[in-house]
Amino acid sequence: MRTRAALLSEFGGPEQFHLETTDLECSAPDEAIVRVMACGINFHDIDIRRGASGRQIRLPLILGREIAGSIEVPARDGSGPPVGTQVAVLYFAACGSCENCITGADHMCRQLDFFGVTRNGGYAQHAVVPTRAIMPLPDGLDPVLAAAGQITFSTALHSILERGSLQPGETVLITGATGGVGSASIQVALKAGATCLAAAGTPEKAQKAIELGASTAFVLSAGGLDPYGETFRQERSERVVDLVVDTAGGDYLVAALSLLKPGGRVVIVGAHGGEVVPVDLVNIFRNEHSLVGSARAPRRVIEQALSGIAQGVYTPWVTERGPLGSLSQIHREMEERLLVGKAVIEPNQTQ
């Protein structure tokens, strides 16, 4: 079978994507071919495109991690759903047999296979998918929202409720609050009964965070986190935050620690703002702060996220969508930090 795809053959800028017709082949009996109706675009895709992901990437490669679509060719071994079933594709395929998979921590599988990273992904009209990575879409769920929400909301749910143990009535600070994961985190925190503070890179993005539901916003500056507008009335030096959900890293993390209460927690979800930061260890141990990482969510949380979106509990903030030919432009806008929210491509749409 042949399909149209945005192929990456060399690392570099957005212009390195080339639309080509390529062959698809199911090499294993448990693989199906999914017609890609929508694929979410992540900043991690930009790292891979630039050759800056820190992973061993083999080119040529079709990027794209968050896939939603329908079964076009079922698996030869009879596993998986039948032709025509609308599905979401987990952004990783776990082995299902290692200790982590058996104990429910499939997101920490020792043999994870990532779409758009270690195998071809969804920047194409079709994708080859192991059936163990397929889940039927909840009834009525728009594939665009499924593609936009898989990573963003599962990451938010896992990092805030499981890794961060957020409790009703607590105050949470979300950095990078107008990105895909950041905007989802605002919704998850508010649904959990928390007060939500937000940190962003510009006054315009801070205003967006307020519109999304944050009660207070900050703008990152050379001096730390500056209150935006009149939303923050406490003294600057007062520690008011129970939980920091850091989607950005870098100076955001350093500044956020200054607002953390004694006994407060930090969940580190991303580091595109800086991977290596100076941290005052004395401040951490004297205040009994806890810092944990949150790499990705297990399948059960991804299912929870998609179910919540289908039920209207959560709504992905899709701000840009386009056909496969718009991919380079969307990548360029994301790389220049011009986009807020979530971008999605629809490879089988012509305009």
Q: How confident is the model at residue 274 (pLDDT cuts 50, 70, 90)?
A: confident
Checking if the pLDDT of 237 tops 60, the result is: no
Closest alpha carbon to 148 in 254, 61, 66, 239: 66
Mean pLDDT across 130-157: 97
Residue 71: the pLDDT is 98
Looking at the domain 2-151+298-345, which fold is it? Quinone Oxidoreductase; Chain A, domain 1 (3.90.180)
Q: How confident is the model at residue 260 (pLDDT cuts 50, 70, 90)?
A: very high
Closest alpha carbon to 262 in 233, 288, 290, 228: 288
Q: Which residues of 61-85 are buried (b: 16+ CB within 10 A; e: fewer)?
A: bbbbbbbbbbbbbbbeeeebbeeeb
Mean pLDDT across 313-328: 96
Q: Which residues lie below 8 Å from residue 169, measured CB to CB, with a gap of 6+?
A: 193, 194, 195
Q: How confident is the model at residue 319 (pLDDT cuts 50, 70, 90)?
A: very high
Checking if the pLDDT of 232 tops 70, the result is: no
Q: How confident is the model at residue 236 (pLDDT cuts 50, 70, 90)?
A: very low
Query: In CATH terms, is domain 165-293 a member of 2.70.160.11?
Result: no
Flag the least confident range among 113-117, 126-130, 231-235, 345-349: 231-235
Domain boundaries, the chain: 2-151+298-345, 165-293
Segment 182-198, tens digit of pLDDT: 999 999 999 999 999 99
Segment 39-60, tens digit of pLDDT: 999 999 999 999 998 889 999 9
- Bigger pLDDT: 192 or 254? 192
Enter the DSSP assignment of 124: B
Residue 327: the pLDDT is 97
Q: 135: alpha, beta or left, given left = phi > 0 and alpha = psi -120 to 50?
A: beta
Largest CA distance in the chain: 64
Residue 105: the pLDDT is 95
CA–CA gap between residue 209 and residue 242 (Å, rounded): 19
Q: What percent of the chain is helix, strand and coil (3-state, nearest 5)?
A: 30, 30, 40
CA–CA gap between residue 38 and residue 274 (Å, rounded): 30
Same CATH topology for 2-151+298-345 and 165-293: the answer is no
What is the pTM assigned to this prediction?
0.93
Mean pLDDT across 304-323: 97
Mean pLDDT across 319-325: 96
Mean pLDDT of the chain: 93
